[in-house]
Chains A and B, each alone.
Chain A
């Protein structure tokens, strides 16, 4: 009751100040306001979601959606853009936390199986979606790429985007649920390996699209990929090693240091053309596997540092959901989402059988691969920029799909973790 009253007060405050907005000179400054409102209100809605046995981050997303520009507009489009300032920091933090969860010694016996599951799921989904999209292209509201080969290339790019899943959301659900166990480790490893795989395949698909449409091929694509992947891992490993040294020798103000480290990774990765998720993951892996910290200091620091960043990140994601994309391409997006859901389940289960994994948690792995978020949107933006015609149409489809999957994915994955009995086991250890 007290929390509801507090939420009411905060919303009333936002409405109260917006009453003054027309009389304010110039452009109001809204960064701190957006952050403060998102932190408090989204956190409260996250608590409500938890009581309804949903992931807390669903509450953050729903907060963003309801208060965002398309509905209540308490968070305006400008404020939603400002909230996305923490995106880099959030992604780095989430990936770092994932790295901390991956103990190589424990995972080594299952690495081959994880690779088989991931490769089967991705390649299987891609093949079927490629065929479907190529066949259905003339009936879709997408401009003609020009010629069968160009259509194949465009379908390949679109299929790649539809297949891609969000390691960020899956890892965030695991962190939010304090989950630990075979399913958690399996999904973590699959999304991480899958992310690597998708980067490679996306680059190849884009090359094919450039070549087929008569555009200039990028001859440096292989060295670029090598730099992007290898360089990211090396860079992250160095940063992780330095942090591990700090933990051993100093171990003070860990929350601030951790946030500063993630901010550093987020700031430098685009400049150096590194893949932020890989770099941060590598940093976490090094800390966990080479110089594991003693005691609960790092765990406490992660909890204190991660929570506000996650809240703002997912609130921003909710506020940035393009509901008009759903209005434009809704039925098609629903159909594609349904097909994707069927494919992710069937292909993952095939992979599980090929890898000879046990029924539980093998049969639940697919539920961790439903989410789509920032990675997919980022790739779609690249496509739209390079191929303005059909690329923009594909981007609209991806926007709609992401909206559906970012809302449904965490709910489905959390249900899987609950069925596997892994929620809260991190605290029990």
Chain B
């Protein structure tokens, strides 16, 4: 299997890196934990900070982000999910265009499948035994928890990295692809109404249609302002259609982005340039909404605690298996893939939108993501040290 070298560690839009000075000055004196756990330095997604901010601002504490405000933010969340899907699709499309994607995708899919299977099976056993008061059927809930667990935030490093680390970073990027695909299915199952196949197909068709429309429009805009209108309109359409159909905006966005990358022209570059300034605000918004949606309860604790352990176990097992197949150091793969990514939380938010009553799910996934981040930083060495 071809291994990526350090030069191929690309800029994943989801690896929203916050400038050190911003966080370091605010947090260094307050929290003594390792820098990676605080989102400072090596860790890409400062989920702790924004989720914490959401919890503080949410209805449970200050109430600045009230229940009413969360309802109004529903449309914005759909659009943010679509944009997130676009970022994933852009990276995936670029990788497939560059060549050599199949082995990486196979490795990522293997890793994701094992993680999902371990987590979903373990959570299903527990949920069936405990009979917790959750509005989602245990099998479906276990599936959603499993799928959201496979998301990883790639670690970013200054300076050159070893080929194993570069490979692991690519796997972390590509894991979002099976997550989005399976996520669309569970969203359709949770939503009800339309048959699952119709729901998923509709989201995919709309993604393709808007993607094609974008190819025809973006490069033919008469001005930068008009191009901005077309890009914004396309993102709104992707999120809006998915919201209308109770489908997955992540899937619609990802498919549209793949169309932009694979079709002739510079549509993908134009979208990337226009959406670049929205990367950090969108991720921050999703995390703040997730934090504000957290409702602490016994059920959440009973789900989140084992979820953290099962996720870590699943990740380590999956990394070991994948590393053996790919010929990389298992420790490196496990360490790089341990920190959770934003897309898992995004999936939980999507399910909450379509069911209207999945607060336990969002709370559990969010709390588990925070705990996983801390655990990964506290227990696992930096890949540079391992290598």
- Which residues of A are interface residues toward B (Cβ below 8 A)? 2-3, 5-6, 9-10, 12-13, 16-17, 20-21, 23-26, 28-40, 43-44, 47, 303-304, 307-308, 311
Cα A33 to Cα B228 with chains together (Å):
17
Q: Which residues of chain B are within 8 angstroms of A12 by Cβ–Cβ distance?
A: 209
Residue of A nearest to B237 (CB): A36
**Given the known A-B contacts A20-B245, A43-B229, A307-B225, are A37 and B216 also in contact in the complex, defined by CB atoms under 8 Å?**
no
From A2, A32, A43, contact of B75 by CB (8 A):
A32
Contact with A along B213-246 (1 / 0, CB 8 A): 1001100101111101110111111111101111
From B194, B213, B353, contact of A40 by CB (8 A):
B213
Q: Are B240 and A24 in touch, CB under 8 angstroms?
A: no
Residue of A nearest to B209 (CB): A13
Q: Which residues of chain B are within 8 angstroms of A307 by Cβ–Cβ distance?
A: 225-226, 228-229
Cα A21 to Cα B193 with chains together (Å):
10
| 20 CB-based A-B contacts, threshold 8 Å | A2-B220, A6-B216, A9-B213, A10-B237, A13-B206, A23-B194, A24-B244, A29-B74, A29-B353, A32-B237, A33-B236, A33-B240, A35-B240, A39-B232, A39-B236, A43-B229, A303-B223, A303-B225, A307-B229, A308-B233
Residue of B nearest to A308 (CB): B229
**Given the known A-B contacts A43-B229, A304-B225, A304-B228, are A33 and B193 also in contact in the complex, defined by CB atoms under 8 Å?**
no
Residue of A nearest to B194 (CB): A23
Give the contacts of B29-56 with A (CB-CB under 8 A).
Answer: none
Q: Are A29 and B75 in touch, CB under 8 angstroms?
A: yes
The CB with the most chain B CB atoms within 10 A, among A34, A40, A43, is that of A40
The CB with the most chain B CB atoms within 10 A, among A2, A3, A36, is that of A36
Q: Which residues of chain B are within 8 angstroms of A37 by Cβ–Cβ distance?
A: 233, 237, 240
A289 → B minimal CB distance (Å):
26
Q: Which residues of chain A are within 8 angstroms of B10 by Cβ–Cβ distance?
A: none
B183 → A minimal CB distance (Å):
19
Q: Are A36 and B234 in touch, CB under 8 angstroms?
A: yes
Q: Are B244 and A29 in touch, CB under 8 angstroms?
A: yes
- Which residues of B are interface residues toward A (Cβ below 8 A)? 74-75, 78-79, 191-194, 198, 202, 205-206, 209-210, 212-213, 216-217, 220, 222-226, 228-230, 232-241, 243-246, 353, 356
Residue of B nearest to A255 (CB): B228
Residue of A nearest to B356 (CB): A26
Q: Are B243 and A33 in touch, CB under 8 angstroms?
A: yes
Q: Are B241 and A13 in touch, CB under 8 angstroms?
A: yes
Those 10 A-B pairs whose CB atoms lie nearest each other, nearest first? A36-B236, A33-B240, A32-B240, A39-B233, A36-B237, A40-B233, A31-B75, A6-B216, A29-B243, A9-B213
Cα A10 to Cα B234 with chains together (Å):
9
Q: Which residues of chain B are within 8 angstroms of A17 by Cβ–Cβ distance?
A: 202, 206, 241, 244-245
From A13, A23, A29, contact of B210 by CB (8 A):
A13
Cα A336 to Cα B14 with chains together (Å):
59
**Given the known A-B contacts A17-B245, A28-B244, A29-B74, are A36 and B239 also in contact in the complex, defined by CB atoms under 8 Å?**
yes
Q: Are A43 and B241 in touch, CB under 8 angstroms?
A: no
Q: Which residues of chain A are within 8 angstroms of B192 by Cβ–Cβ distance?
A: 25
Cα A134 to Cα B307 with chains together (Å):
77
Q: Are B226 and A20 in touch, CB under 8 angstroms?
A: no
Q: Which residues of chain B are within 8 angstroms of A9 by Cβ–Cβ distance?
A: 209-210, 212-213, 216
Interface of A is mostly: helix
Cα A414 to Cα B241 with chains together (Å):
36
Q: Which residues of chain A are within 8 angstroms of B205 by Cβ–Cβ distance?
A: 16
**Given the known A-B contacts A29-B244, A36-B235, A36-B239, are A3 and B220 also in contact in the complex, defined by CB atoms under 8 Å?**
yes
Q: Are B193 and A24 in touch, CB under 8 angstroms?
A: yes
B336 → A minimal CB distance (Å):
34
From A3, A13, A311, contact of B237 by CB (8 A):
A13
Q: Which residues of chain A are within 8 angstroms of B226 by Cβ–Cβ distance?
A: 43, 307
Q: Are B216 and A2 in touch, CB under 8 angstroms?
A: yes
Cα A38 to Cα B235 with chains together (Å):
13
Cα A34 to Cα B206 with chains together (Å):
15
B241 → A minimal CB distance (Å):
6
Cα A405 to Cα B216 with chains together (Å):
35
Q: Are B234 and A29 in touch, CB under 8 angstroms?
A: no
Cα A2 to Cα B216 with chains together (Å):
6
Extra inter-chain contacts (7) besides given A33-B236, A40-B237, A308-B233, CB under 8 Å: A2-B220, A16-B209, A20-B194, A28-B246, A36-B234, A36-B240, A304-B224
From A33, A39, A303, contact of B244 by CB (8 A):
A33
**Given the known A-B contacts A6-B217, A17-B206, A17-B244, are A32 and B239 also in contact in the complex, defined by CB atoms under 8 Å?**
yes
Residue of A nearest to B281 (CB): A256
Q: Are A34 and B229 in touch, CB under 8 angstroms?
A: no
Q: Are B216 and A30 in touch, CB under 8 angstroms?
A: no
Q: Which residues of chain B are within 8 angstroms of A6 by Cβ–Cβ distance?
A: 212-213, 216-217
Residue of B nearest to A21 (CB): B244
A89 → B minimal CB distance (Å):
15
Q: Which residues of chain B are within 8 angstroms of A13 by Cβ–Cβ distance?
A: 206, 209-210, 213, 237, 241
Cα A296 to Cα B239 with chains together (Å):
33
Cα A29 to Cα B77 with chains together (Å):
12
Residue of B nearest to A37 (CB): B237
A323 → B minimal CB distance (Å):
25
Q: Are B216 and A3 in touch, CB under 8 angstroms?
A: yes
Cα A12 to Cα B75 with chains together (Å):
22
Q: Which residues of chain B are within 8 angstroms of A25 by Cβ–Cβ distance?
A: 191-193, 246
Q: Which residues of chain B are within 8 angstroms of A36 by Cβ–Cβ distance?
A: 233-241
A183 → B minimal CB distance (Å):
25
**Given the known A-B contacts A17-B245, A24-B246, A307-B229, are A33 and B216 also in contact in the complex, defined by CB atoms under 8 Å?**
no
B7 → A minimal CB distance (Å):
33
B119 → A minimal CB distance (Å):
29
Residue of B nearest to A31 (CB): B75
A198 → B minimal CB distance (Å):
32
Q: Are B213 and A10 in touch, CB under 8 angstroms?
A: yes
Cα A30 to Cα B78 with chains together (Å):
11
Cα A385 to Cα B367 with chains together (Å):
51
A35 → B minimal CB distance (Å):
5
Cα A30 to Cα B216 with chains together (Å):
25
A306 → B minimal CB distance (Å):
8
Q: Which residues of chain A are within 8 angstroms of B78 by Cβ–Cβ distance?
A: 29, 32
Residue of B nearest to A43 (CB): B229
From B198, B237, B353, contact of A33 by CB (8 A):
B237
Cα A26 to Cα B223 with chains together (Å):
41
The CB with the most chain A CB atoms within 10 A, among B79, B191, B212, B241, is that of B241
Q: Which residues of chain A are within 8 angstroms of B240 by Cβ–Cβ distance?
A: 30-37
B66 → A minimal CB distance (Å):
16
B37 → A minimal CB distance (Å):
30
A5 → B minimal CB distance (Å):
6
Residue of B nearest to A82 (CB): B75
B196 → A minimal CB distance (Å):
13
Q: Are B229 and A39 in touch, CB under 8 angstroms?
A: yes
B26 → A minimal CB distance (Å):
20
Residue of B nearest to A28 (CB): B244
B339 → A minimal CB distance (Å):
30
Cα A17 to Cα B247 with chains together (Å):
11
